[in-house]
Structure 1
Amino acid sequence: MGDGEPDGRTYIQNDLVIVTGASGFVGRSVVDQLRKQGAQVLALGKAPAGKPLPGVEWQSVDLLEADAAATLLTHYKASILIHAAWARAKAGGLWHLEENWIWRDASLRLFNEFWDRTGGHVVACGTCAEYDPPDHGECEEDITSIAPSSIYGRAKAELAEQAFTDAQKAGGSLTWARLFYLFGPFENTERLVPQIIDPILAGETAETGSGKAVRDFGFAPDMASGLATLAARRCRGAFNVGTGEGISIKALASRIAELCGREDLLHVGALPDRQGEAPRIVANTQKLRAATGWSPAYDLDTGLRDTIAWRHEALRR
């Protein structure tokens, strides 16, 4: 079976799926999408408060412990593993944290334990930071160079390269899902979209750089449905998971301010631009669409409205 080909399955109902990072920004949405498909979910993370979700069992596991994965997989026989866990971002982001290397090694250990015991399918969250993005056009899986400029991107790219080799040796399979720029509920307050929404909702000034850079911004629950679809189809190979559409950061920030009804509180150009920022990072999603038929269900405004409403409620708590 060649790179990018599914194995013919198009369902996930009643399968046991393990989701790492299930209480995180991406993982929460993945769990929700799997429940909609009728999967049984073993969610690794901190269980949310309130009534337990039907079909979801929570376990708190430290994946950085050498024996944690082996112990877990001895007790649970899952056919699919969706790996959304990674190092926690600190001030300044994940880009140059040394912990990325630790998570590279722990993730590979987890994958091999899973393949050795199940021969099953792994869907792993990669990143657009693995690419050397072109100044014009889109990042394409089989054309754009893998040449990351950050520790984060290098750790992910090295994990992908070794994991594909190990999957073949073990008789397992792997989807490497390169996520682009996400926003939505439960997003870290230090990231771009919350840094615009939160001050405006508080009646304060939101400041950005020039905003010239163009990015592919996708609503997290929407992108999680793409991950769940890749899992259901058991697609092998690397896939971009994004909207396929670019928007400048200035235009995104302006739209957020408009939807909040406070355009006067947005100050574009008040902050310096980051040095070395790529002018354009946008996904080519043709490979994903051809393999699965998936496309985003939310437009940008709908996703932003839902995110603004969620953050408004969160700030009131």
Structure 2
Amino acid sequence: MNATVLLFGASGFIGRAVADFLAHDARVGTLVKVSRRQRPHEADWVRHDLVEGHVDELVPLLRRVGPDAVINCAGRLSGDSVALVEANALVTARLVEAMKTALPTARLVVLGSAAEYGVVAPGRPVTEDAAGDPVSAYGVTRLVSTRLIELAAGEGALDAVALRVFNPVGPGLPPENLLGRAAQAIRAAFRSGADHITLGPLDAYRDFVDVRDVAAAIGAAALAGHVPQPVLNVGSGTAVRVRDAVALLVKAAGFVGQVHESDGAPARSRQVQWMAADVHRIRDVLGWKPTHDLDTSIRASWEG
């Protein structure tokens, strides 16, 4: 196999991990990375803004590169409803329509989220067949994206897959998620000499998965010969109390101060007290399973 892969969102947290994975995958002959900003003197990067660009601008790019697989790792975790719709839902719609025109036989892989499920029953990992009932604007926009992929795949209009990524952690962890905010707070405490940090409530349970394992799942979905199911969970399969994950981060950082918990939680997660992925489908379909344990992933999150 000597596949050409076009990777959108290549400069982001997950995108960087995917780019690194694909760069070392013998199945990939050419990797073209896409950024919103011009990157001079880097021949394997091209400039395109999925949010601002139109379908008629995307089609020539797809035809010029001629990829066997297109991966979109771009998107937004926060912002107002308009920004979230544009970055998470409208972008997928543009990719689907452009690929129908330019590359109807190529594989399209987009990222979804555990937030698409909303509130689930504690103690039972959620399967891909569970009804989506998001409780945040973020989850709604990711669910719209996934539904567009399901429709395109179900109609036979496109070879498309949506990967519902749960809570990614690992090298390059950004401050937009809880552990990223915790790491940011610890670093600020080290700089100021503070003896404590304050975070939101830490009593919820989440499924943390290493971003390098997520990258491997994305690569597998992009390069597999056939993917019979258009929606796949990507998680560890285990729910971990957030307070315990933060404790691992505190230990990795060598922080000896206290961790205080405030009353407020982000709107996109406050109603969801327990979440874990059922990963049987992705194991059956792609032969994928996570290889990094949580302690290793969190140490890598701190070390960068």
Which residue of 2 is the match for residue 78 of structure 1? 67
| 2:110 is the alignment partner of 1:124 | yes
Partner of 1:109: 94
User: Which TM-score applies when normalising by structure 1?
Assistant: 0.83
**Retained in 2: the 8 A contact 1:112–1:167?**
no
> Contact 1:200–1:265 at 8 Å: present in 2 too?
no
Gaps in structure 2 of 5+ consecutive residues: none
In the TM superposition, what is the alpha-carbon distance from 1:133 to its structure 2 partner? 3.2
Which position in structure 2 is the counterpart of 1:221? 212
Unaligned runs of 5+ in 1: 1-12, 311-317
Report the equivalent of 2:9.
Answer: 21
Tell me the distance in 2 between the aligned counterparts of 1:85 and 1:273. Answer: 25
When residues 168 and 37 of structure 1 are mapped into structure 2, their CA distance, relative to the original with a 3 A threshold, is same
Q: Which residues of 2 match residues 1-317 of structure 1 at below 5 A?
A: 13-38=1-26, 39=28, 40-45=30-35, 57-63=44-50, 64-66=52-54, 67-87=56-76, 89=77, 93-94=78-79, 96-103=80-87, 104-118=89-103, 119-136=105-122, 137-142=124-129, 144-169=130-155, 171-202=157-188, 203=190, 204=194, 205-233=196-224, 234-235=226-227, 236-262=229-255, 264-273=256-265, 276-310=270-304
RMSD, aligned CA: 2.4
- Cα distance, 1:169–1:223 mapped onto 2, change above 3 Å: same
Deviation at 1:266, TM superposition (A): 3.4
Q: Which whole-Å CA distance do the structure 1 matches of 2:241 and 2:290 have between them?
A: 19
Cα deviation digits, residues 238-294 of structure 1 (max 9, x gap): 1000111111111111111122222x3232324534574211011111111111221
Deviation at residue 169 of structure 1 after TM alignment: 4.2
- Which sits farther off after the overlay, 158-167 or 213-222? 158-167
Count of aligned positions = 288
Change in Cα spacing, 1:50 to 1:281, as seen in structure 2 (3 Å) is farther
Q: Higher mean Cα deviation, 30-39 or 107-116?
A: 107-116
| Separation of aligned partners in 2, 1:260 and 1:49 | 33
- Cα separation, 2, equivalents of 1:309 and 1:51: 29
Query: What displacement does 1:237 show?
Result: 1.5
Give, as a single letter, the amino acid of the residue that structure 2 aligns with 1:180: F
Write the distance in 2 (CA, Å) between the matches of 1:102 and 1:270.
32
Quote how far apart the aligned CAs of 1:65 are. Answer: 1.4
